[in-house]
Structure 1
Amino acid sequence: MSRAPAQTRTEARTQARAIRGAEARRSGRRAELLAAAWLMLKGYRILGFRLKTPQAEIDLLAWKRGVLAVVEVKRRADLTAALETVSLDQRERLRRAAISLAARRPDLKAATVRLDLLALAPGRAPRHVPDAWKGG
């Protein structure tokens, strides 16, 4: 039984990791598009996708009736798993990012900033949870 040189095994692992990462990014983009469509059906206006800020990357930024919703999109087996994947630190970074964005836009300065979760699970309808972490 011959064994491949260590370099070849390392390259194969690196390539496999790159393929998994690319598929995860594609899956994430599909989830975000589905989430945006779901929110628009509920009357939200989508202001941005994957907004990069110094504090955090915002999956979706949505607006409805004076509320600026920072929407974290998670594809998981169930809602509980989706809620648990967003750490307190991440929530704080997302909140700071939204406040910073709103402060720079006169039309958003008076908005109430809220962190929402849009959970996607295989074979289930999307689940939008407004103020998912109740301000925390």
Structure 2
Amino acid sequence: MTARVDRGAAARRSGRRAEALAVIWLMAKGYRILGFRLRTPQAEIDILALRGPVLAVVEVKQRGTLEAALEAVTPDQRDRLRRAGLALAAGRRGLKDCTVRLDLIALAPRHPPRHVPNAWPDH
């Protein structure tokens, strides 16, 4: 294997571990996990979680700092994630009345996960 292929495989493994840790973190906070790595026509959603009337579309980013994690999600990606969450909510009877929110779980070395609810408020 080439070094590039090895780096890509390592990044995918690291991303899956980060997402699994984020799921555990959200469950401990009382969220019900509805989906994990969901592919939709609009975007791939890392985690779809429900708590009360809030449907959280959760993006998981592993970076050196919270700021770097927030900046890693582009405005275009945020728009696609928001559209994906709204489409999923509209298509499921039990979710139609939910508020769709974009959350971030930021993971950094030697720090606990950081959950940022409503990380990118809708304008």
The TM-score, its normalising length taken from structure 1, stands at 0.88
Find the partner of 1:108 among 95, 102, 110: 95
Summarize deviations over 1:42-89 as a string: whole Å, max 9, x none.
000011111001110000000001100000000011100000010110
- Aligned counterpart, 1:5: none
Name the structure 1 match of 2:111.
124
AA in 2 matched with 1:60: I
Post-superposition offset of 1:101: 0.8
* 1:31-42 equivalent positions in 2, closer than 5 A: 31-42=18-29
Which residues in structure 2 correspond to 1:42-61 (within 5 Å)? 42-61=29-48
Matched-pair identity in %:
68
Larger radius of gyration: 1
Q: Secondary structure at the match of 1:46?
A: strand
Residue equivalent to 1:82? 69
Q: 1:29 aligns with which of 12, 16, 37?
A: 16
SS of 1:122's partner is coil
State how far apart, in whole Å, the 2-side matches of 1:112 and 1:89 are: 21
Q: Which 4+ runs in 1 deviate beyond 2 A? A: none
Deviations 1:13-55 (A, max 9, x none): xx22111111111100000000000000000001111100111
Displacement, 1:135?
Answer: 1.7
RMSD: 0.9
Letter in 2 for 1:24: A
Partner amino acid for 1:21? G
Question: 2-side partners of 1:92 and 1:120: how far apart?
Answer: 22
Alignment coverage as a number of residue pairs: 123
The one-letter code sitting in structure 1 at the alignment partner of 2:121 is K
Q: TM-score if structure 2 supplies the norm length?
A: 0.97
